[in-house]
Structure 1
Amino acid sequence: MSPVLDLVRDDLRDFAGYSSARRTTVSGSIWLNANESPWVSPADPGLALNRYPEPQPVLLRERLARLYGVATPQLLITRGSDEGIDLLVRAFCRAGQDGVLIAPPTFGMYAVCARVQNAPLHEVALIDDGDRWSLDVERVIERVATQPIRLVFLCSPANPTGQALPTADIRRLALALRGRAVLVIDEAYAEFSPVDSAIGLLAEFDHLVVLRTLSKAYALAGARVGSVIAAPDLIGVLRNLAAPYPVPAPSAALALAALEPEAAAAARSRVQTTIAERGRVETALRSAPGVTHVYASAGNYLLLRFQDAEAAFQRLLAAGVVVRDMRANPVLADALRISIGSPAENEALIAALATLKSGRAA
């Protein structure tokens, strides 16, 4: 048994979950075990949607495991990364007792899932050194050593700040957290980053978890296909906590099609275009009027500070360009996050900001 299971909630270590009709190993030609309709809907595109889908579609799970270079038992398919985050908090955190550590400013779902579970939230703020953000590794290690923390969520590349965690920092954290907490590296934007994936460290650390998704680089945000990659024993625990049928048949079919050689090659080409456009947009916006700072980014987005963020936001909206307003976060009170679009979309963005006046509105 993997040592990481010692960190799982005591009441869930032997929890078997719901045994759905499709989770059993029985087979046959007449299916009367799940109270399904025997008739196919006229709206069905040929996917047999009158039947429940496989809880973990075998072909897709195998294909995703090959994509990420892991064994199939190390991977759980989830409804985007959001479900993986939620499952991890529920598996490791007893309400009101076991804490979750995050490094703000960061992706908001970590805090949301912690609150829903009533898991105490601990924060170690990122360091803004003027050009890029960085993680205070020493403070994270100190906090986990002195507080009842079971999960550490880190985003790499980080959303919204853009920096990627060096492999050496992840290994250092994993060594320090062993036996104390589970280290989760959310790699939703890994395809856009030059830094190696933390997946390469899984063989060394059974308390390391990596989250991946097809939402970004593979252009399937609407299909909701994510992966939790971890030790097989931990994957087994999470699977028992998951909903009976987390992967809709249409989503599984779309994901398999997107991972076919020709479609996957197109995705890689789009990633390279995005990386090139990221550099072009960054250069253009550094000299745009009213822009005070553009942070370096390893994701498919840029974080910008403005002399007057409200004026910039409204100017973009007037041009039909919608960006993410980050001003609710006190340390980003003058900031907007801008996704890298197509070359034409990026031109519209640059043109809109080129007309922004320097200085603050009266």
Structure 2
Amino acid sequence: MASLAEKLAPESIKKLIPYQSARRIGGSGRLWLNANELEHPMFFADHQSALHRYPDFLPHDIAAAYQAYCDTTQPTIAVRGADEAIDLLVRTFCQPGVDSIAICTPTYAMYEFCAESLSVNVIKCPLLAPDFSLDVDSVVAAARQANIVFLCSPNNPTGQLLKKENIVSVLEQTQDHSLVVVDEAYIEFELAESVVDLIDQYPNLVVIRTLSKAFGLAAVRCGFIIAATSVMEYVAKLVPPYPMPDSSAEIVLKALTAEGLAQVAANTQSLIRTRDAFIERLSTIDWIDTIYPSSTNFVLIRTQPGIELFEYLVKHGIVTRNQSHEPSLKHCVRITIGSEKSMQEVSEIICNFSDALTPSNKNRDITHEQNA
């Protein structure tokens, strides 16, 4: 019986023979003269490793280390950040001009961007107000027309976890016709809520991870796809040769040691304490309409109409993320959690802004906004 992945994969992907790089073909020998590399390295800087050989065609050591970190035996591929993971999945399982994906807005913009860049249709299922919870019925209905459903948990830019029981409900009702991709870029801030363990039960589940957030390795560009064998056999066909330089791989392997993981866990807990203290300091400001619960290293704040918080912070040298372009995020600003010192400064500046806003200022600004 054909797997779901086999049903979804276009014929062009099924027929595709992966590029047979020298490292993929492999072999053993004394002289390596198969990849048109220089046989001996040249060095252009002090303390530089030899760079004349191509890296592993798939970084197996990294994948194995990450499997151990996730406590899973499911196939795992290291890719160049979560963005490449999204692109690979769309290219593998969607035909341009024919197929669709479903996303739950507001959410990470790369799902829509990758689909549209490949002429793949996007079906939008808005998250439910006021808490941005998952509309299971809407997602399941959209999935009947979509090869892939993207769920971001914890969600960016809203910051909240999607309830695991809701994710399971979607998996249950889509397992015959759609892949469900759960993007766990921020999962280290709620590690117990990961759904990686559900892949054993639901082979239509794919999990995306990254080292760009809690691991602090954004410049290294390392992400992961974790999926059942039936899914991974098609994704692996599209992974480009030599996807990660050895210099990056070495850093990742150090990060995934017991010492590295302990450092990540300690720093994550420190960020959570700083985040919660920042939220508490802002919680009494009357012109802040909502501070949304966060399971990430950022906080989404909705102000009352007419309060130009984003512009005010920019004037004070603080660059945040204005989310007002999203219909459901009017008057919202997303603030990344930095060091305790930085967040203390930001909270003081915001409180100073509060002091500068007299009741008449507020009313005038709000009236102007409503009449605009």
Post-superposition offset of 1:326: 1.0
Alignment check: 8 A CA contact 1:288 1:353 kept: no
Partner of 1:10: 11
Amino acid at match of 2:141: E
Partner of 1:79: 80
Partner of 2:270: 273
Amino acid at match of 1:178: Q
Partner of 2:89: 88
1:50 to 44, 52, 75: 52
Amino acid at match of 2:203: D
Alignment check: 8 A CA contact 2:4 2:177 kept: no
After the TM superposition, which of the residue ranges 78-87 and 31-40 deviates more from structure 2?
31-40
Partner of 1:336: 333
Post-superposition offset of 1:289: 5.5
The residue correspondences of 1:219-230 to structure 2 (distance < 5 A) are 219-230=216-227
Alignment check: 8 A CA contact 1:167 1:195 kept: no
Partner of 2:25: 24
Provide the aligned C-alpha RMSD in A.
1.8
Partner of 2:310: 313
Amino acid at match of 1:54: D
Amino acid at match of 1:27: S
Alignment check: 8 A CA contact 1:194 1:298 kept: no
Task: Give the match's secondary structure for 2:43.
Answer: coil
Question: Identity across aligned pairs (percent)?
Answer: 34
Amino acid at match of 2:55: P
Amino acid at match of 1:26: G
Post-superposition offset of 1:40: 2.1
Post-superposition offset of 1:330: 2.2
Post-superposition offset of 1:331: 1.9
Partner of 1:102: 103
Task: Give the match's secondary structure for 1:83.
Answer: helix
For residues 41 and 3 of structure 2, the distance between their equivalents in structure 1, rounded to whole angstroms, comes to: 44
Amino acid at match of 1:7: L
Post-superposition offset of 1:16: 2.1
How many residue pairs get aligned? The number is: 357
Post-superposition offset of 1:2: 4.0
Q: Is the radius of gyration larger for structure 1 or structure 2? A: 2
For residues 182 and 58 of structure 1, the distance between their equivalents in structure 2, rounded to whole angstroms, comes to: 25
Partner of 2:346: 349
TM-score by length of 1: 0.94
Cα deviation per residue 1:117-142 (whole Å; 9 max; x = unaligned)? 1111100101122xx22110111112
Task: Give the match's secondary structure for 2:261.
Answer: helix
The residue correspondences of 1:181-196 to structure 2 (distance < 5 A) are 181-193=178-190, 196=193
Task: Give the match's secondary structure for 1:297.
Answer: coil
Task: Give the match's secondary structure for 1:222.
Answer: helix
Task: Give the match's secondary structure for 1:135.
Answer: coil
Amino acid at match of 1:158: N
For residues 176 and 98 of structure 2, the distance between their equivalents in structure 1, rounded to whole angstroms, comes to: 17
Amino acid at match of 2:97: G
For residues 55 and 310 of structure 1, the distance between their equivalents in structure 2, rounded to whole angstroms, comes to: 52
Alignment check: 8 A CA contact 1:47 1:249 kept: no
For residues 150 and 69 of structure 1, the distance between their equivalents in structure 2, rounded to whole angstroms, comes to: 28
Post-superposition offset of 1:108: 0.4
Partner of 2:207: 210
Alignment check: 8 A CA contact 1:309 1:335 kept: no
Amino acid at match of 2:237: N
